[in-house]
Structure formats: C-alpha cells, structure tokens
C-alpha cells in the first residue's frame, strides 16, 4: 500500500477506496481461513469436539490480541505495512506449520467409516480427489438451505454482524 500511496498522491479518494477494498478482501479471506482452521481443530479432537472448538477459538482470540498489541505499540500499520504483514505471515507460519506437519487426515476414510458401502467407496468418486469445486459449492448451498429455521436466523444474524 505504501507504493500505491505514491502513485495516488493526487487522488486521495481513489487511494481510500483501494485501501477499503484491500481491508475487506483481507477480512473475508481471514474469516474463511479461520473457519476452516476451527473446523479442522474440532475434527481432530474427535469425540471432544466442543473442547477442540474452544481451543480453536482461543487461538483466534490470541491472534487478535497479537494484532491489537502490535497496533498499540507500533501505531497505525497503514503508513508502513511491511512489518505488520511480516508479523501476520510469521504468526500464521508458526501456528499453521505444526498442524500441517503433525495432522494426517484422509477425508475419504472418514466418509467410509460414516457410511460403509456407500457411493463414497465407488472408484469413480475416489479418483476425483481432491473434491470438485462444484461439489464444494453445492454442499455449501445445501447446508445453508437445509438449516432449521431458528438456526438459519442465527446464521443470518452472524453474517450481518460480521459484514453489516
């Protein structure tokens, strides 16, 4: 952003719009990454999924505290974003790499345990690993569409609170 600030010196409105776009983009990607991480940690916890979810949320809170402490000590990262992004990359590397190294999971094996003899065992499906993008979006759509009424309202309220 510091390089773009020089390019848009005479157009502060354009620089402001670009900054807002980048922050919204970063917020969306971080929330998507956090959701996947929370689910992975909960899934690895096995029968103790509530405990795993609590630990995952604790990691999220600690990450937010790291950012808050950095901003309180170094002030606004907008003027010099390189150290701020280096901190974010370092924190993500330190927290994600141990999970990638120690956790081994085969989702197809988990599906076979849930429904043995189902279509998940069909060779045509197992050869499509990783899952097709259409299947992912379909699962997302069906998951939201089949939510019970009160849970859908709760989901919608959470969505509005996050991005409203």
Output the tens digit of pLDDT for each of the chain's 164 residues. Answer: 556 666 777 777 887 788 788 778 877 777 777 777 777 777 777 677 777 778 778 877 888 888 888 888 887 777 777 888 888 888 878 877 877 777 665 555 555 555 555 555 555 555 545 555 556 677 777 777 777 777 777 778 777 777 76
DSSP string, 134-158: HHHHHHHHHHHHTS-HHHHHHHHHH
- Distance from the Cα of residue 99 to its chain's centroid: 15
pLDDT at res. 122:
53
Q: Are the CB atoms for 78 and 20 separated by under 8 Å?
A: no
pLDDT at res. 108:
53
């Amino acid at each position: 952003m510091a390089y773009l600030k020089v390019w848009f010196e005479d157009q502060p409105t354009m620089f402001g719009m670009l900054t807002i776009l980048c922050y919204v983009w970063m917020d969306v990607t971080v929330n998507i990454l956090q959701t996947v991480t929370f689910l992975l940690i909960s899934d690895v916890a096995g029968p103790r999924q509530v405990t795993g979810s609590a630990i995952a949320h604790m990691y999220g809170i600690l990450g937010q505290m790291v950012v808050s402490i950095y901003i309180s000590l170094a002030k606004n990262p907008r003027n010099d974003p390189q150290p701020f992004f280096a901190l974010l990359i370092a924190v993500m590397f330190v927290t994600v790499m141990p999970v990638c190294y120690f956790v081994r999971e085969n989702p197809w094996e988990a599906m076979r345990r849930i429904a043995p003899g189902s279509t998940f065992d069909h060779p045509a499906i197992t050869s499509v690993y990783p899952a097709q993008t259409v299947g992912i979006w379909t699962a997302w759509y069906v998951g939201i569409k089949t939510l019970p009424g009160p849970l859908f309202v709760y989901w919608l309220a959470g969505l509005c609170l996050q991005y409203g």
